[in-house]
Structure 1
Amino acid sequence: MLKKFLFADLDDTLFQTFDKATALGSHRSGPDVLEPAAYYKDGSICSYTTGVQRAFLAFAQDGMTLIPTTARDHDGLRRVDLPFDSYAIINYGGVVLLPGGASHAPWLEGMRAAMHTALPGLLELAAHIDHYAQRTGFGGRARMIEDFATPFFLVVKDPDKRHERLAPVETDVVRPWIADGNRPYVVHRNGNNLAILPKALDKAHAVACVTELLRAEHGDIITFGMGDSRSDAPFMAACDYAIVPRATQLAGITVAAL
């Protein structure tokens, strides 16, 4: 029988914040049935699973091996209280973790070289975003996400969680800068998260790498991809089957749009 592997995004796919969890439907995911799933650095609860999500996890883990495929860094992954014991893909595909937790050295070396090339552009864009914030009073700032001694991408959030305030940052600052010279960067915005990534940083590339490692170990396999965001679609398309949670950005532009 072919072994089954599920490449799964984490935030807003397998768990979410309290407000988002209750919005999924109080008739079956009210506060009394939510359970903590991820934590902030200070130990307070960041995200929760609903009863439905826990049932799905039990279903998936009965026959599938789950492989986190996330934008979270290594520390953020360690603060997720779910049972993962195989490979993991973090930093939007910038780092592949082997079973046991060590980084896949050849992959990391290649990504470090690509990120070194992309870094001057990210720093330039960060300066533009921060200048926009100073000029307009926007409270957010461009933050460089670094892990394994490597800068990977920029993220911008509104400190008051006013998601609509990110729209002019994207349309008036980020996208014009990318278009000016057709720079090799992409934009992902979902809720209160605006991320700017080098094109070399791609979950789909990392999923392809891990899939080849798994095939070398097990022969023919079946792969599933699961995610909530438009940015997850490429890595899901690289799998044999795709799973889309309801009430997510990706569901809204795929299944719900039909």
Structure 2
Amino acid sequence: MQTIALCDLDDTLFFTGRKLDEALRSGTATLDRLGEPHSFHSRQQTHLLGTLLRGATLIPVTGRDPEAFGRVQMAFDSWAVLDHGATVLRPPSRPGQRGFPDRVWQLVMQETLEDQAEALRLSAQAATHISELMHLDCTVRLHASGGQPMMVVVKHPYALQNSLDLLSQQWALWRQEAGTDLRFFANGNNLTLIARGVSKEAAVEYVLGQLREESPDQELLILGLGDSLADAPFMNLCDFALTPGDSQLMRGLLENELEQR
């Protein structure tokens, strides 16, 4: 039986320096755009990563785009899911190299994104205007994949939750009036609006289908690792799911009274 570990990266396999004290760091995980260390593994994450690499095929499932993924200081020799699912990389042809985009998935995403490009552009403009009018000092970025708008990300440079909450409320009212049908989620100090049809879950389903086609007689054990509520759908496709303690996913479970049956 082959073990496949589908792993979110940020806040699952490593933390930014802001979230992990220097005394607790076990090794550099990512570099910033200037080539300086930016994210780090804890000792527990290093041990977990080593355990996975010894016994499983590790497939990253991340919101990072290809450029940010390229700054991750880990070698992956199988498939990869990037851009919240908008990009799927096939396995690299040689060890130590990055994979290359899957052409079939590219065509699927191109059609999906073309249909929602204008709604994303207008949503980014609306978020910018709300921030300026309310003096919230938030930053708004329109991210693209394959040359097409893919998602809008709103942050605050000092992670002021009140500013993000106020913008989120007014942005929701605007989207309701505008009738936009985009997917919204909040994660840490980010507000994200993403095209419908773009999801880690959909991309993971595609990758698992490819793996099963490649080895139809090979039984798979699928593990899912993630920290956020946005990771839960792809983790639910797996045989077992693992999440860090005090993650957004765990807090969401504990803060809600769940009916026991």
What TM-score do the two structures reach when normalised by structure 2? Answer: 0.90
User: Where does residue 141 of structure 2 map in the other structure?
Assistant: 143
**Runs of 5+ consecutive residues of structure 2 not aligned to the other structure:** 93-98
Say which SS state the counterpart of residue 101 (structure 2) adopts: coil
Give, in whole Å, the separation in 1 of the partners of 2:24 and 2:237: 37
Amino acid at match of 1:99: P
Q: Which runs of 5+ in 1 are unaligned?
A: 23-29
Cα distance between partner residues in 2 of 1:177 and 1:111? 26
What's the secondary structure of 2:64's corresponding residue?
coil
Listed one character per residue, the Cα deviations across residues 122-178 of structure 1 (whole Å, up to 9, x for unaligned) are 1111111111122111222321112332321110110122233211111121x2233
C-alpha contact (below 8 Å) 1:144/1:153 kept by paired residues: yes
Residue 190 of structure 1: how far off its partner (Å):
1.4
Find the counterpart in structure 1 of residue 204 from structure 2.
207
Who is 1:73 aligned against? 65
Alignment deviations for residues 187-246 of structure 1 (CA, whole Å, 9 cap, x no partner): 121111111111211110000000000111123312111111111101111112111111
Secondary structure of the residue that 2:138 maps to in structure 1?
coil
Contact kept in structure 1, 2:151 and 2:194, CA below 8 Å = yes
1:181 Cα deviation after fit: 6.2
1:222 and 1:150 map into 2 onto residues whose CA distance is 35
Distance 1:226 1:256 in 2: 21
Count of paired positions: 249
Instruction: Give yes or no for contact 1:163–1:191 (8 Å, CA) kept in 2.
Output: no
Task: Check if 1:251 corresponds to 2:254.
Answer: no
Corresponding position: 1:194 with 2:186: no
Aligned counterpart in structure 2 of residue 86 of structure 1, from 78, 82, 91 = 78
Q: Alignment partner for residue 59 of structure 1, among 39, 42, 51?
A: 51
Distance in 2, matches of 1:32 and 1:14, equals 14
Over the matched positions of the two proteins, sequence identity in percent amounts to: 30
Tell me: CA distance 1:182–1:242, structure 2 relative to 1, closer, same or farther (3 Å): farther
Pick one of 40, 46, 59 that aligns with 1:48: 40
One-letter amino acid matched to 1:13: T
1:107 aligns with 2:105: yes
Amino acid aligned to 2:214? E
Q: Which residue of 1 aligns with 2:16?
A: 17
The answer (yes or no) to whether the contact 2:25–2:40 under 8 Å persists in 1 is no
Task: Give the superposition deviation at 1:34.
Answer: 3.2
CA distance in 2, matches of 1:50, 1:256: 26
The match for 2:236 is 237
What's the offset of the Cα at 1:74?
A: 0.2
CA RMSD of aligned residues (A): 1.7
Residue 27 of structure 1 aligns with which residue? none
In 2, Cα distance between equivalents of 1:167 and 1:227:
24
More helix by share: 1
Structure 1 runs of 4+ off > 6 angstroms? Answer: none
CA distance in 2, matches of 1:7, 1:178: 33
